[in-house]
A and B are shown apart, each in its own frame.
Chain A
Amino acid sequence: MSDVIIFKIDGVEVSAKPGQTIMNAADEAGIYIPRLCDVEGLEPQGSCRVCTVKVNGRTAAACTQPAAPGMVVENDTLEIRNCRRDIVRMLFHEGNHLCPCCEASGRCELQALGYRLGILQPDKYPYLQPVRPVDASHPDIMLDTNRCIRCGRCIRASRHLDHKNVFGYIGRGIYKQVGVNGKNLAQTDVHVDDHAVAPGICPVGCIIQKRRGFYDPVGQRKFDVNPIGTEIEKHLKDAGGKK
């Protein structure tokens, strides 16, 4: 087998190394595939389904699907865009996402994806309005699982980067949520310097560091400066001359 895998995303030829996923290859090629549960540095999980693409006509999650020679990947098509919009909407409506008063506003990946996909107002789905108690027991970290999107990034970061088990999935179906390894967060061995609670792991405002609220002024927040996906698409512009 050759060391370079060549395949196409929306007609554009892309190369990948053996073992890379469609997502890895797309990122390197400067093609942005929207995602929420996948983040650099953690094993992909394939749970949010925002990165759904069609591979040779069948749907797959780009973050877990290995690249294979000659595959034809559909990413930015009307059908896929609609599906992604529906999934992002589902996440908005599953939890309580009140952007104007959320501390994560401006660096929230869910919010940023909403903008990118053109979701600018509440819509057709019903609100499930969970009323789970906020866990503010820990001196440095606060947990509001009403904003959790079940991406499991904190769980994986705690397990694989911190070598702890602070977080874990509990429950099933719509009751599935993130639990902590104690009666509350204060009883766990979590530390404010853990990867699991570092900014950028929780994509929404579920894990919040205390005493740091609203530190970036509007206009200078993460996604105000670089809307989501543009960092990856910049690769394409940088490589523009070569292509």
Chain B
Amino acid sequence: MKSDQDLLITRSCSKYGNDPGRVIDILWEIQKSLGCVSYEAMEKIAATINTSRVQIEGIVSFYSFFSETPKGKIIIRLCDDIVDRHAGVEQIAVVFSEELGIGIGQTSPDREFSLEYTPCIGMSDQAPAALVNDVVVTSLTPDSARETARRLKANPDTSKLVAAKGDGNNGHRLINTMVKNNIRLKGEVILADGIQAEAGLKKALSKTPLEVIQEVVESGLRGRGGAGFSTGEKWRLAQKALASKRFVICNADEGEPGTFKDRVLLTERADLIFEGMAIAAYAIGSDSGILYLRAEYAYLRPFLEAVLEERRKSGLLGSAICGKKDFSFDIRIQLGAGAYICGEESALISSCEGLRGEPKNRPPFPVEKGYLSKPTAVNNVETFCCAARIMDRGSSWFAGIGTKASHGTKLLSVSGDCAKPGVYEVPYGVEVAALLEMAGAEDTAIVQVGGASGDMIGRRSFNRKICFSDLATGGAITLFNSSRNVLAIVDYYLEFFAHESCGYCTPCRVGTVFLRERIQKVMHGFADKADLEYLQELGKTIMITSRCGLGSSAPKCVLHSIAQFPLVYSSHLKESLDGLQPGFNIQKALEESRRIAKRKSMIYDPVFGNEGE
């Protein structure tokens, strides 16, 4: 048994060339076959790939999908996003608990099942949803959850859970999922029908790399992940940096709560993404690329691998692409392992290198020293799609869409309280109010633009526009009607940030925990005005001093909600009539002494004296 395990480990390690840089792939194999990465397994891996056990433990304990203790053969991960909570995931959890006889966070004694909560799995448009190993189940109801649990008990083959396949490529034999695309609005850049395959790549290859970069600069394309850096400038910097090797990385670690548009692109526009990556590679002079795929989208991997293989066969990847003698480029897929922070580009690079997914110090920036210290262009899935289209249709076509300063279209993932959740491709400049109308949202009170790290706005601000100069966003638009509790939403986002903080820097690691503690105090009615000042000051410190975007955006939900919904906060504040701190409950504090002394307080009890007298 012991030697079986050792054999498996040495085999997994040698499959990846005993390369410590591929340790995440190695750990995935071991986690899948052994159900955990035990202390002994870590020792064996460390010895095989020549690193230390504590470093392996550092990685295993960093990523949510790895576990040091044995997990069940079937792991059910219920999506615990705020939209799923509002859609009743708690009831679903109760059903699974009853059926499987285990609570959340537990594994059944026979090691058949584990049940847990996980942050947003990118299915907010069909919530509540869950991952059953790699299989996605969506739009759960208590009945369908019960049915799912019973089926799994009768037959552990998770692929049998897919009864009705989703639309489009979701029904492809290599995806085979019940996930629906929910494409509600097709814009002219990415989701339009009849996009000519590889037209962008072919036109790019007829130009010089510098001309390609110039075209992208002139189009005004800015990063679609949220930060909005000029794509052309990024490529220019990567191209200019002196190096023997350069990399192109596609960020498909779509982890922002409430976003799912990359899921749809990976399903329906895989070729366009890879085409865009090849264009970037040609422009900056790179011969290798990585698609970093979040673990929650592992169900898309076989399909994506097949698309890559098909491209190799058709001469669109590999050497002499499209007959261009000096241009070779290939792409590998790096599967993540459950860490939101890896959506941050330098953390994503750390993760590709087989490290804890912690952001790197900047400077140097990834365009100078990125993956393996080589110049690296990291772009969002949607950005690569745009780049391919720009090469085909030209920069002025692209610049003609959207607003003066924000060119092109934006894919929005709309979910929450509305009749038509799904993906909307809109030109930049669309008003929030127009979006609500399109989505069939009624009685909307709160719109969260950009997910947990984004902007929270109330009715007064529904005339604001989606564009870089107003509401810049990666695309998550989460809608809440007036029955929802603002504080519960803020509490959820803080819980999310505290859970997903990598812990590297003090303000984010500790500050997010402190923010949440105080928001809960407000929720429970124990806070006074001073606590709001505390929240604002603490939020400001965290924003100023955090090392990366996670920390600097975590307090936004607190600060925005205080500014946008002051009445909600003031209605929760406790008036302090007795002059005591609101958090202090004198009756509760006296209870124990009353019990021990067997008498009441002279001051605080109206009728005092010894008990029983």
Which residues of A are in contact with B by a Cβ distance under 8 Å? Answer: 44-50, 52, 59, 61, 64-66, 79, 82-83, 86-87, 90-91, 93-94, 124-126, 128, 149-150, 165-176, 179-183
List the interface of chain B (C-beta within 8 A of A).
39, 51-55, 57-58, 61-62, 339, 356, 361, 363, 498-507, 509-514, 517, 534, 537-538, 541, 544-547
**Contact at B547–A179, with CB atoms within 8 Å?**
no
What are 30 A-B interface contacts by the 8 Å CB criterion? A47-B506, A48-B506, A79-B544, A82-B541, A83-B541, A86-B537, A87-B506, A87-B545, A90-B506, A91-B506, A93-B514, A125-B514, A149-B506, A150-B506, A165-B54, A168-B57, A168-B58, A170-B57, A172-B339, A172-B501, A172-B502, A173-B501, A173-B502, A174-B503, A174-B509, A175-B61, A176-B503, A179-B54, A179-B58, A181-B53
The answer for the CA separation of A170 and B39 in the assembled complex, in Å, is 13
Whether the Cβ atoms of A181 and B52 lie closer than 8 Å is: yes
Of all chain B residues, which has the CB nearest A181?
B54
Minimum CB–CB distance for A97 against chain B, Å: 13
Shortest CB-to-CB span from B21 to chain A, Å, is 17
Q: Among B356, B499, B514, B546, which residue has the most Cβ atoms of chain A within 10 A? A: B514
Tell whether, in the assembled complex, residue A47 and residue B500 are in contact, meaning their CB atoms are under 8 Å apart: no
CB distance B361 to A46 under 8 Å?
A: yes
With contacts A172-B502, A172-B503, A174-B503 taken as known, whether A49 is within 8 angstroms of B62 at the C-beta atoms is no
User: In the complex, which residue of chain B has the Cβ closest to the Cβ of A155?
Assistant: B54
Complex interface: chain A residues within 8 A of B361 (CB): 44-46, 61, 64
Q: Do A90 and B507 have beta carbons less than 8 Å apart?
A: yes
A-B contact count, CB below 8 Å?
122
A46 to B361, CA, bound (A): 7
Whether the Cβ atoms of A83 and B545 lie closer than 8 Å is yes
A sample of 10 more A-B contacts (CB under 8 A), given A46-B505, A48-B506, A59-B545, is A49-B546, A49-B547, A90-B510, A93-B514, A170-B61, A171-B503, A172-B501, A173-B503, A176-B509, A182-B53
**Please, which residues of chain B bring their CB within 8 A of the CB of A47?**
504-506, 547
| CA A128 to CA B62, docked complex, whole Å | 21
Establish whether residues A49 and B505, one from each chain, have CB atoms under 8 Å apart when the complex forms: yes
Nearest CB to that of A48 among chain B residues?
Answer: B506
Closest Cβ neighbor of B500 among chain A residues: A173
Residue of B nearest to A178 (CB): B54
A83 → chain B, closest Cβ, in Å? 5
Which A-B residue pairs are the 3 nearest by beta carbons?
A176-B503, A165-B52, A168-B54
The 8 Å CB contact of A174, one of B51, B62, B356, B510, is B510
Report whether B538 and A171 are in contact in the complex, using a CB–CB cutoff of 8 Å.
no
B502 CB → nearest A CB, Å: 6
**A173→B499 contact, CB < 8 A:** yes
Q: How far is the CB of B363 from chain A (nearest CB, A)?
A: 6
Task: Report yes or no: A49 in contact with B503, Cβ–Cβ below 8 A.
Answer: no
By the criterion CB–CB under 8 Å, are A126 and B517 in contact? yes
Chain A residue with the shortest CB-CB distance to B518: A126
* Nearest-Cβ distance from residue A231 to partner chain B, whole angstroms: 24
> A42 to nearest B CB, angstroms?
14
- Compute how far the CA of A174 lies from the CA of B501 in the bound complex, rounded to whole angstroms: 8
Expressed in whole angstroms, the minimum distance between the Cβ of B204 and any Cβ of chain A is: 35
A90, B514: Cβ atoms under 8 Å? Answer: yes
Across the interface, name the chain B residue whose C-beta is closest to A91.
B506
* Residues of A close to B517: CB separation below 8 A: 126
**Alpha-carbon distance A233/B52, docked complex (angstroms):** 40
Contacts of B513 in A (CB 8 A): 128, 174
Max chain A C-beta neighbours (<10 A), residue from B39, B500, B505: B505
B543 (CB) vs chain A CBs: closest residue: A59
A-side contacts of B498, CB under 8 Å: 173-174
Cβ contacts under 8 Å, A170 to chain B = 54, 57-58, 61
User: Hey, which chain B residues are within 8 Å of A64, CB to CB?
Assistant: 361
Least Cβ–Cβ distance between A58 and chain B, in angstroms: 10
Q: Are A61 and B547 in contact (CB under 8 A)?
A: yes
Which residues does chain A contribute within 8 Å of B339, judged by CB atoms?
A: 172
Q: Which residues of B contact A176 (CB under 8 A)?
A: 502-504, 509
Interfacial chain B residues near A91, Cβ < 8 Å: 506, 510
Minimum C-beta distance from A212 to chain B (A): 26
Residues of A within 8 A of B534 (CB): 124
